[in-house]
Chain A
Amino acid sequence: MSLMNNLSTSMISSSSSTFFAPTSFNSRTQSVSVPLKSINIVKCVATPQEQQNAYKTKVSRNANIAKLQAGYLFPEVARRRAAHLLKYPNAQVISLGIGDTTEPIPDVITSAMAKRSHALSTLEGYSGYGAEQGEKALRAALASTFYRNLGIEDDDIFVSDGAKCDISRLQVVFGSNVTMAVQDPSYPAYVDSSVIMGQTGQFQKDVEKYGNIEYMRCTPENGFFPDLSKVARTDIIFFCSPNNPTGAAATREQLTRLVKFAKDNGSIIVYDSAYAMYMSDDNPRSIFEIPGAKEVAIETASFSKYAGFTGVRLGWTVIPKQLLFSDGFPVAKDFNRIVCTCFNGASNIAQAGGLACLSSEGLEAMQEVIGFYKENTKIIVETFNSLGFKVYGGKNAPYVWVHFPGRSSWDVFSEILEKTHIVTTPGSGFGPGGEGFIRVSAFGHRENVLEACRRFKQLYN
């Protein structure tokens, strides 16, 4: 059996994988003791020799995509996991890498989705195309659940098939002629989508950064909030809080400064609030809690980590009417055009589930599952603390950010995988600012998390 060979002509950074994820890989199973359910091995595509004789079109490869250094981070992690399982077929691999939810979805939510499914088989219950912006009832429920008293209206909310997809749709709205800033480290979709859109220059190997992106370093020293006095003006600022991967949650004071920074610079903040419900501290859950934010910010969010909808696919983006381009044109109008042209609405069944999530019973049920993952996080934090590591995050997010000073994060990742059969995520996958850190995700069955912690203790004692 052989994995698909890497045929890319793009440069491979030393800190990233030297292989590309096979296209047919179902790499996201999550149970411990069951071996990978279906390793679909792709036979080798033409070797470089054969390729020379193979028919080629005259269509040039998109130079922007060629700038990308390796596969997207999480399929890379999955590929390493799969390779590990090939090497140790009986290993009880525990996945604390990809932030994939593991606990069943509460009944109140699935019964609503089942009901909607059955209804599609009836004349009265059948519905075809839905509004691309989402079903009215769901938009209204989102507004009243998350944005009550914040002046966000139902029609400011666009329902989607998830935040990752929304990030790319936002990039399509912005186009290639805008500059962007990201936290460093940050969720890789912001940078990768920016590269694809043509907003960036080439990857600079020495600093591990793409040209034209402003990387806002977030470290323990600055409390994981960028020193805005050192940040150059960009058109767009991506900001995620509670943060993936560091787990840091920005305070009201910090977000007020961020909003002022954006206002002074005429920038737009894209605020990723996918983990807001994991907040323990009394920090803002929405950027719109900050006065003035409606004129400078967009907020994306997701049901993935709240309702276990990682596979069901549902999220939303808020674009206030007050958010304007430099010529006064409302951003929401262009986003609406993109949503109508490049998208066709989230699945109606998923939306029925979303509505049930926001009923009082649904909210309670979600809080319970979130509480369960938070308890996992606590266990992981305590473990690493007890082993003498400097540990960050974990309080307001389901991620634990562990410092391994002076070490390459891919090396630590490999060592942990090799010696304990635990999958984590190397910090450098989130940007050069993540080097020297490992992200441990707290999604998992309790017994797996406990077992993982036992193994960590064994390795690092």
Chain B
Amino acid sequence: MYYSQFLSRVCMPHAVLLQPKESWNSSKSNDEIIVGHCTKVPRNSNLEKLRSGYLFPEISRHESEHLQKNPDASLIRLGIGDTTQPIPDTITLAMAEQVRGLSTIQGYRGYGAEQGNMALRKAIAGKFYQDMGIKANEIFVSDGAQCDISRLQMLLGSNVTVAVQDPSFPAYIDSSVVVGQAGELEEETGKYGNIIYMNCGPENDFFPDLSTIPRTDIIFLCSPNNPTGHAASWQQLKQLVEFAEANGSIIVHDSAYAAYIRDGSPRSIFAIPGAKEVAIEISSFSKFAGFTGVRLGWTVVPEELLYSNGFPVIKDFNRIVCTCFNGASNIAQAGGLACLSTDGYHDLCKVIDYYMENAKILVDGFTSLGWKVYGGKNAPYIWVHFPGMSSWNVFAEILKKTNIVTVPRRGFGPAGEEYIRVSAFGQRQNILEAIRRLNSFL
């Protein structure tokens, strides 16, 4: 996640002197001016609207800078939500077996169906959408939710309006800007003109007050939520579905953390009647199975979901998948199938328990220090309130004083400060050490 530093160049023959573009050059490298050929290809103006690098490489960059200044620092990474525990044997054995099969005539597989291996699609339907009427052919296997979000944006195009939670996973906003939906950036507020930001805080139980939200075509909702950790209740999701129905909107429901739910909250938007006509659901094996590097996820597009002209959204998504993608790795898919076997699933639940035990330690730790803590009960994220403080400042202080990496609230949306996200992925001893350090610092 470390991107190299780039040099600015002066183009010949125009000799255009570049204004120091600190806005896009978020790394503090020197801008050297070098003479070179410029093409006449205009830069995509949508990308110019992005003010900094994507959030998580930015966090990495801060980490690296800190390490450069403090080479002996023992960093504890509770920032980027990266899984740390090994993948259970059942699953890696299945992947290794698939791999070895690729060296044999009977076991060799070339191109797979772009939509995914049918056995896996059926297994996903059976495991997660039993009794919800979601069929295997409505499930599209992918290389992960982040990629699917962008494919969905390509599907939807630039002429749709979008609502996101604030705070939310940055890929929704960033992909919206990239595709050209977002309108102009208002520098003072940091908000994009065409995006509706649905504020989520303790005052509204971390669920948007839909009575204050204008209609948009698309509504992104993540539950359990990254970063706040809130799992929407059945009632809240029902409200959302009704809202979407009334407005003719499409919900994109991100259920990447559904496996972390402990309190019986719905694990899928499709648990709500009527959702099939108004929602798409994306999900992932990343946090469920430690597949952050293996790369596997899926998107559900019900056949009932129709555009205003009656055309099924699933047909166009299929076209995108066949044209802009070529299927998830067959090795990852073999792993995915093993994840959904009885043994595999059982083993994965133990890993999830481990992370949620971490979460409990973090919740208790911060609470005992007198901080108001949210989340950590249905998601591997703790949302800690630092009233009246700039979140990047808190981030920097914590990093400087305790060598712990977190993520500032500001990275998840423009409308707020005062919160820090602490991720519960980590080795137990690091979590315990983190609490020890925070005790002495805070």
Contacts and interface: CB of A to CB of B under 8 A. Distances in A.
B311 A8 contact: yes
A196 B47 contact: no
Interface in A367-397: none
A242 B150 CA distance: 31
A109 to B, nearest CB: 8
Nearest to B90: A121
Interface in B38-73: 38-47, 50, 53-54, 56-57
Contact of A266 (B39, B244, B325): B39
Interface in A58-105: 58-66, 68, 71-72, 74-75, 98, 100-105
A61 B42 CA distance: 28
Contacts of A445: 105
Contact of B38 (A64, A266, A308, A311): A266
A196 B54 contact: no
B146 interface: yes
Contacts of A266: 38-41
A343 interface: yes
Q: How large is the interface on A (under 10, 10 to 19, 20 to 34, 35 or more residues)?
A: 35 or more
A444 to B, nearest CB: 11
Contacts of B179: 172
B294 A23 contact: no
B387 interface: no
Interface in B1-21: 1-4, 6-11, 16, 18, 21
Contacts of B113: 24-28
Interface stretch (A248-256, A331-339, A432-440): A331-339
A341 B327 contact: no
Contact of B100 (A114, A161, A336): A114
Interface centre among B8, B155, B319 (most CB of A within 10 A): B319
Interface stretch (B226-234, B302-310, B374-382, B388-396): B302-310
Contact of B316 (A61, A341, A344): A61
B interface, over-half SS: loop
Interface in A91-147: 98, 100-107, 110, 113-114, 117-118, 120-123, 125-133
A178 B278 CA distance: 34
Given A57-B278, A60-B307, A341-B174, A118 B39 contact: no
Contacts of A337: 47, 50, 53-54
A323 B54 CA distance: 22
Interface string A340-365: 11111111111000000000000000
B218 A334 contact: no
Interface string A310-330: 111100000001111111111
A117 B38 contact: no
Contacts of B47: 173, 175, 334, 337-338
B174 to A, nearest CB: 5
Interface string A446-460: 000000000000000
A319 to B, nearest CB: 11
Contact of B44 (A46, A334, A342): A334
B307 A308 contact: no
B307 A323 contact: no
B103 A127 contact: no
